[in-house]
Amino acid sequence: MLRDRFFKFGLKLAGGLIALLIFSIFVSLVIASIPSIKEFGLSFVFGKEWNPVEEHFSALPFIIGTLLTSVLALAISLPFSLAIAFFSGEFSKKGLISSLIAYATDLLAGIPSVIYGFWGLFFLVPLIRKLELSFNIPPYGVGIFTASLVLSIMIIPYASSMARDVIALVPSDLKEAGFALGSTRLEVIKKVIFPYSVSGIFAGLLLAFGRAIGETMAVTMVIGNANRIPHSLFEPANTLASVIANEFTEATSDIHLSSLIYLGLILFIITFFINYIGNMIIERMSVNGRS
């Protein structure tokens, strides 16, 4: 009994510490960004100018850049990560090809982001430039689209491995019942496996999206780092995380530093809300939630 209690206490402590840590990160972000919050208030979120010389700061271009790149990356990666998940979770759970695919996607998650950045810069950027030349738009090569492409590859393992696991966990009696009713394999996937596992698939996508929002190094290298609101997907832009990484080391004035931390606070809040909304959706979609 006593050991049980200790065990429970230990679990509570570990979980509580994490919650406390997150909370204190939030508090310290708020405290450090107070000078900037006092100076700019909410106009910081909606303003368009980032001018370290005049010490006038606002975040809208970066918020747009962050959301645009991560949404686009998720959209590009979605068909691929779903296809991988269904293939290795349902069609071919064992075997050489399946384990090869599983190994390769897991490997994607282990590659350092600076390598993705270099690959993007030296391989993808020249390709995109050719594409842009053929479309007769300014051939920057770098920009939102390039960054999203790099990101989409980076996040595939996050979405696919979780989806693969939940798809593989669909009880076989449910599937067999579907087949017994005369369904084809596609129909079983559509009507049985997908509804059963959709909340898990969505959770994986959420994880991938969070990863895309916070990615810094690879994005910095290929997005063009232009502190303006982009008017097309092929234009250079910038993201919250990338601005912080770029300017933090040399920010000498207090208000500049504080504004960079304010950007971090906004990033924190965005991540928090996306996770919150995502979790609500997951609950709605889960088998228990619907019944």
Partner 1 sequence: MKKILFILLVILIAGFNTAGFSKGIELTGAGATFPYPLYSKMFNEYHKLTGTKVNYQAIGSGGGIRQLRAKTVDFGASDAFVNDEGLKKFASPIVHIPMTAGAVVVAYNLPGNPQLKLTPEVLADIFLGKIKKWNDKRIAELNKNVQLPSLPIMVAHRSDGSGTTFIFTDYLSKVSKEWKEKVGKGKSVNWPVGLGGKGNQGVAGLVKNMPGSIGYVELAYAIQNNMPYATLKNKAGNFVKPSLESVSKAANIDLPDDMRVSLTNTGASYGYPISGFTWILVYQNLEDGKLSEEKAKELVNLLKWMLTEGQKYCEPLHYAPLSETAKKKALAILKKVKYRGKALLK
Binding residues vs partner 1 (CB under 8 A): 49-54, 121-122, 125-126, 129, 138-142, 220-221, 224-227, 236, 238, 242, 245-252
Shortest approach of partner 1 to residue 93 CB, angstroms?
43
Query: Which CB sits closer to partner 1, 49 or 106?
Result: 49
Q: 179-215 burial, b if ≥16 CB within 10 A, otherwise e?
A: eeeebeeeebbeebbeebbbbbbbbbbbbbbbbbbbb
Between 144 and 162, name the residue whose CB sits nearer to partner 1.
144
Minimum separation from the CB atom of position 250 to partner 1 (A): 3
Q: Which CB atom, from 123 or from 272, has the smaller least distance to partner 1?
A: 123
Q: Report the nearest approach of partner 1 to the CB of residue 197 (Å).
A: 41
Least distance (Å) from partner 1 to the CB of residue 62?
A: 12
The answer to whether the Cα torsion of 60, 61, 67, 68 is positive or negative is positive
The residue type of 155 is I
Residue 38: CB atoms within 10 A of its CB come to 10
Tokens of 254: 């207090």
The minimum distance between CB 290 and partner 1, in angstroms, equals 47
Q: Which is nearer to partner 1, 165 or 247 (CB)?
A: 247
* CA–CA separation, 40 and 247 (whole Å): 19
* 51 vs 184 by CB, closer to partner 1: 51
Closest approach of partner 1 to the CB of residue 111, in Å: 19
Q: What is the DSSP string of 78-137?
A: HHHHHHHHHIIIII-SSSHHHHHHHHHHHHHHHS-HHHHHHHIIIIIHHHHHHHHHHHTS
What is the distance in angstroms between the CA of the first residue and the CA of the last residue of the chain? 37
Nearer to partner 1 by Cβ, of 76 and 142: the residue is 142
Q: Are 159 and 79 in contact (CB under 8 A)?
A: no
Q: How far is the CB of 246 from partner 1 (least distance, A)?
A: 4
Nearest approach in angstroms of CB 56 to partner 1 is 9
Cβ proximity to partner 1: between 143 and 210 the closer is 143
Tokens found for residue 4: 């049980």
For residues 202 and 74, is the Cβ–Cβ distance under 8 A? no
Those residues whose C-beta lies under 8 Å from the C-beta of residue 261, and which sit 6 or more positions away, are: 29, 32, 33, 36
Q: 145 vs 209, which CB is nearer to partner 1?
A: 145
